[in-house]
């Protein structure tokens, strides 16, 4: 009985949203995701709203989301993005300096958004390194070329004798540590307020 009332209340809220915003919700193209209920109940809710039954993991704002831990295979989409970007380039005549610039400005920045939310697995980082070092040494040419120095030398800062290619492992850690700083300072963003009220209360994250 309580679940039926909740469904009706939610449907009423959606009707009010349509009336106030002038935006029509396409229920046939929408999906319903549920947590902690039986499949039969999930199906009843989907039929009530006239939507499809959504399955975890879902993609939201370009990233996988799930009630379970995201796997390495699901996070490997950042590597696929790098490979697709490489497929559009014709830059075999670029110098090493030009390739290093493209590495940091494009290939290394593609996973940045995801690394600000998820801690990538070491396998994901290895796959990203493989794509980037192949591009640096052989460009988009399929002919294999020797790697003259180790990858650890390329990702070393220029002041220490390296090329300055971004180390995604360190950047991933730094981006996630920013969340600790934001949670400790309690900034005014809605996301931080929600996390603090749900998990921290009045306590410090430290």
pLDDT tens across 172-193, in order?
Answer: 999 999 999 999 998 888 889 9
Query: Angle, nearest 10°, between helix axes 77-87 and 122-138?
Result: 10
**What pLDDT is recorded for position 102?**
84
- The pLDDT > 90 percentage for the chain reads 44
**CA torsion through residues 60, 65, 71, 72, sign:** positive
Mean pLDDT of the chain, nearest integer? 88
User: What does DSSP assign to residue 198?
Assistant: I
Dihedrals φ, ψ of 58, to 5°? -110, 160
The number of C-alpha atoms within 13 Å of 189 and in the hemisphere containing its C-beta is 9
Whether omega for the bond prior to residue 57 falls within 30 degrees of 0, making it cis, is yes
- pTM assigned to the model: 0.79
Q: Which of 148, 146, 126, 147 is nearest to 82 (CA)?
A: 126
Q: What is the spatial distance between Cα 77 and Cα 127, in angstroms, rounded to a whole number?
A: 11
Lowest mean pLDDT among 43-47, 70-74, 146-150: 146-150
Higher confidence at residue 89 or residue 48? 48
pLDDT (mean) for 24-38:
90
**What pLDDT is recorded for position 1?**
56
Evaluate if residue 14 carries a pLDDT over 90. yes
Evaluate if residue 169 carries a pLDDT over 90. yes
Give the model's confidence band at 139: pLDDT under 50 very low, under 70 low, under 90 confident, else very high: confident
Q: What is the spatial distance between Cα 196 and Cα 32, in angstroms, rounded to a whole number?
A: 27
Evaluate if residue 70 carries a pLDDT over 60. yes
**What pLDDT is recorded for position 2?**
66
Kind plus residue range of the DSSP H or E element containing 105: none
Q: What is the spatial distance between Cα 195 and Cα 114, in angstroms, rounded to a whole number?
A: 19
Domain map of the chain by residue range? 2-55, 58-206
SS3 125: helix
């Amino acid at each position: 009985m309580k679940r039926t009332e909740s469904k009706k209340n939610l449907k009423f809220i959606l009707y009010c949203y349509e009336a106030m915003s002038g935006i029509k919700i396409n229920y046939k193209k929408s999906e319903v995701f549920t947590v902690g209920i039986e499949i039969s109940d999930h199906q009843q809710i989907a039929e009530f709203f006239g939507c499809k039954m959504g399955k975890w993991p879902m993609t939201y704002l370009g990233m996988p989301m799930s009630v379970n831990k995201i796997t390495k295979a699901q996070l490997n989409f950042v590597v696929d993005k790098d490979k697709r970007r490489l497929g559009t380039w014709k830059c075999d005549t670029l110098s090493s300096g030009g390739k290093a610039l493209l590495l940091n400005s494009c290939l290394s920045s593609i996973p940045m958004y995801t690394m600000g939310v998820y801690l990538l697995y070491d396998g994901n980082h290895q796959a990203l390194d493989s794509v980037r070092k192949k591009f640096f040494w052989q460009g988009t040419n399929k002919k294999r070329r020797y790697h003259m120095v180790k990858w650890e030398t390329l990702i070393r800062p220029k002041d220490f004798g390296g090329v300055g290619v971004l180390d995604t492992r360190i950047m991933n850690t730094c981006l996630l540590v920013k969340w600790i700083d934001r949670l400790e300072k309690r900034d005014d963003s809605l996301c931080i307020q929600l996390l603090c009220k749900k998990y921290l209360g009045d306590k410090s994250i430290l």
